[in-house]
Amino acid sequence: MSLGKRIRDIRQSKALTQSQVSNRTGLAVPYLSRIENDHIEPSFSTLQKISEALDVNLVDFFGYDQQKKFKEKCPVSLSGRCIAERIYAPGRKGIKLSAESYSTKQIQLLQLANYLVLFGNRKIHESLELLFLALIKSTSVKKDREWLSNLMRTNG
């Protein structure tokens, strides 16, 4: 389901009109309509306003249901393509793909990071890279030297 349709479904499930959401967000009704009809992609700040107006988490727009048990091998990809196909692509020797399991919070973080990677501009990507590299160096992160070494080598 597309982002716009998901927003519309959530709004309708809460028995809210576009006008009511407009009043809560300060966004024009025609703008909300264009989002819901997939004519435009909303910015991250616009998604935040809409999520607050609908009283839902941002990740709810991407189809995550806490009751749902993920059985797919790649539950995080917004497009339906497996993220692991990119991360563990041929030629990235040494990184072994094994079954992974994620907590609810980890899935939410992966979905938000995936959204920023897909829709963020160069500045967002540079900021994410700096943040991730700083966090990797943190003593709070459990280190897997082989995995980290291969990751840093492939990302240059």
Domain residue limits, the chain: 3-62, 83-154
Helix or strand (DSSP H, E) at 13: helix 3-13
* DSSP codes of every residue in 71-110: -SS----SSSS-HHHHHT-TT-TTPPP------HHHHHHH
Q: Which stretch of 12-16, 29-33, 44-48, 101-105 has the lowest confidence by average pLDDT?
A: 101-105
CATH architecture of 3-62: Orthogonal Bundle (1.10)
pLDDT of residue 78: 45
Q: Interior CA angle at 54 toward 53 and 59, to 5°?
A: 110
pLDDT of residue 79: 42
pLDDT in tens, 33-89: 999 998 998 888 898 899 899 988 877 777 644 444 333 444 454 444 455 454 544
Query: Looking at the predicted structure, is the pLDDT value of residue 19 above 90?
Result: yes
Q: What's the whole-model pTM score?
A: 0.45
Query: Looking at the predicted structure, is the pLDDT value of residue 3 above 90?
Result: no
* Mean pLDDT, rounded, for 9-32: 93
For helices 104-119 and 44-54, the axis angle rounded to 10 degrees is 140
